[in-house]
Chain A
């Protein structure tokens, strides 16, 4: 396919040259005065001409127009390709690097959320460890207190007994007091008789 394309291109060269020469001729007629014989001799040898009757100034001008697209197309395309390949590699590398950076950034957001939660959990676990230590101390102290309370229990029971006895003694004293008052009143009555 590439060879056919090249043949097609070379076949087009002549046509382009002719048409280009015609266009350039028209332009030159409109702009430049009739050509001099010196210009004719200079412009004649280099390029193939479809119409030798045209002014030679056109011949100098003509080759410039079609050269651009097709004159060095074979070598130009190859050189262009050779020049483009390393750029494509660099561009691909650049593209994949940037894609990797973008994907890394997309995933970094979620990673940071996990890190935040991890830090919060670590701090909370430290808090709970402190609370655990405090509660262990409290439980130890309360156990000691219970043991000491158990050792004091008989004394506390004695105190309760003493209190009960004192209260019963108090009531007995009240009863005795009222009885003695009654007895005193009776004695006085009897004395009066």
Chain B
């Protein structure tokens, strides 16, 4: 009885060892992948970069608003200069 049972035990132990080995190898691969990702610190760096970008967004929008206001002001100055040129022409006409 014992020897007859040992043969299936032997077969099961080989299978069990094989399955354990496969499981351990797959676990090692998974752990290696996770360690590589952790070691690259990509999550931290990319997250920090995204946070910095969000912080800078307000400054970028403010700069854009300021530039648009400057463009409006230069347009008004151009109108003033055009008006003064018209006045110059009128003055020249009057003096002549």
- What residues on A are CB-neighbors of B81 within 8 Å? 145, 148-149, 152
Closest to A12 in B: B4
Contact with B along A130-154 (1 / 0, CB 8 A): 1100110110011011001100100
Q: Which residues of B37-81 have CB atoms within 8 Å of chain A's CB atoms?
A: 37, 40, 42-43, 46-47, 49-50, 53, 56-57, 60, 63-64, 67-68, 70-71, 74-75, 77-78, 81
Q: Are A103 and B33 in contact (CB under 8 A)?
A: yes
Q: Are B78 and A70 in contact (CB under 8 A)?
A: no
**A33 located at the interface, meaning its Cβ lies under 8 Å from any Cβ of chain B in the complex:** no
* Size bracket of the B interface: 35 or more
Q: How far is the CB of A11 from chain B (nearest CB, A)?
A: 9
Q: Are A137 and B47 in contact (CB under 8 A)?
A: no
Report how far A73 CA is from B3 CA in the complex, Å: 14
- What residues on B are CB-neighbors of A127 within 8 Å? 60, 64
Residue from the list B7, B29, B77 in contact with A99, Cβ < 8 A: B29
Report how far A149 CA is from B5 CA in the complex, Å: 108
Interface residues of B (CB under 8 A from A): 1, 3-5, 7-8, 22, 26, 29-30, 33-34, 37, 40, 42-43, 46-47, 49-50, 53, 56-57, 60, 63-64, 67-68, 70-71, 74-75, 77-78, 81, 84-85, 88
Q: Are B22 and A95 in contact (CB under 8 A)?
A: yes
Most buried by A among B34, B74, B88: B74
Contact with B along A119-133 (1 / 0, CB 8 A): 011001001101100
Q: How far is the CB of B3 from chain A (nearest CB, A)?
A: 6
**A69 located at the interface, meaning its Cβ lies under 8 Å from any Cβ of chain B in the complex:** yes
Q: Are A142 and B74 in contact (CB under 8 A)?
A: yes
Q: How far is the CB of A43 from chain B (nearest CB, A)?
A: 24
Contact with B along A1-35 (1 / 0, CB 8 A): 00001001100100010010000000000000000
- What residues on A are CB-neighbors of B64 within 8 Å? 127, 130-131, 134
New A-B pairs, 11, CB < 8 Å, besides A110-B37, A110-B43? A70-B4, A110-B42, A120-B53, A124-B57, A124-B60, A130-B64, A134-B64, A134-B67, A141-B78, A145-B78, A152-B88
Closest to B53 in A: A120
**A114 located at the interface, meaning its Cβ lies under 8 Å from any Cβ of chain B in the complex:** yes
Q: Are B85 and A152 in contact (CB under 8 A)?
A: yes
Report how far A110 CA is from B41 CA in the complex, Å: 10
